[in-house]
Amino acid sequence: MTNNDVFKKLRVALKFRDDQIVEILQLVDFKISKSELGAFFRSEDHPNYMECGDQVLRNFLNGLVIHLRGTKEDPKIPGEVLLSMSGNTAKSAPKKTVREDFKTKQMKKVDTGISHTKYKNKKKS
C-alpha cells in the first residue's frame, strides 16, 4: 500500500474536503495548494498524478493529531471534533450520565396496550 492509498483512505474515512486537508497541514506549518493535493488523489495512470512522499503524509498525520486532540495548552475531545465536522452540532440536549441497560431500553419500546397471551409448549412423544 502506497502513501497515496493511505492518504486517500484517511480522506474518505474522515470525510475531509481538500480545503480541510490544507488547513490541517497548515497546523504544522506545511504549505500545499489544492491542486498539488488533488494530484495525490488522482489515479496512477493520469498525466497529473503525483506520488505522495513520506514528508507530506507525516505532516498530515501530525496535523491530524493536533486537529483532533488539540495542543497541550488547548486540549480537545476527538469525538466532539469529529461530530462537529460531520454536521451533528446539536449540543443543546445534555448528555445522560446514567447508562440504561438493554432490558430497560427494550421495555420502553413494548406496547402495553396489548394483552399478554400464554402459550403452552407441548412435548412430542
Amino acid at 62: N
- Which residue matches cell numbers 475531509? 16
What pLDDT is recorded for position 92?
47
Identify whether the C-beta of residue 22 lies closer than 8 Å to the C-beta of residue 12: no
What pLDDT is recorded for position 39?
93
* The overall pTM is greater than 0.85: no
Task: Walk along the chain (125 residues) and give the pLDDT tens digit of each residue.
Answer: 899 999 999 999 999 999 999 999 999 999 999 999 999 999 999 999 999 999 999 999 999 999 988 877 777 777 777 777 666 554 544 555 566 677 787 777 777 777 766 667 766 65
Which is nearest to 40 in space by CA: 24, 27, 56, 51? Answer: 51
User: What cell was used for 37?
Assistant: 493535493
Identify whether the C-beta of residue 19 lies closer than 8 Å to the C-beta of residue 26: no
* Burial bucket for residue 102 (CB in 10 Å: 0-12, 13-18, 19+): exposed
CA distance 56 to 79: 25
What pLDDT is recorded for position 69?
87
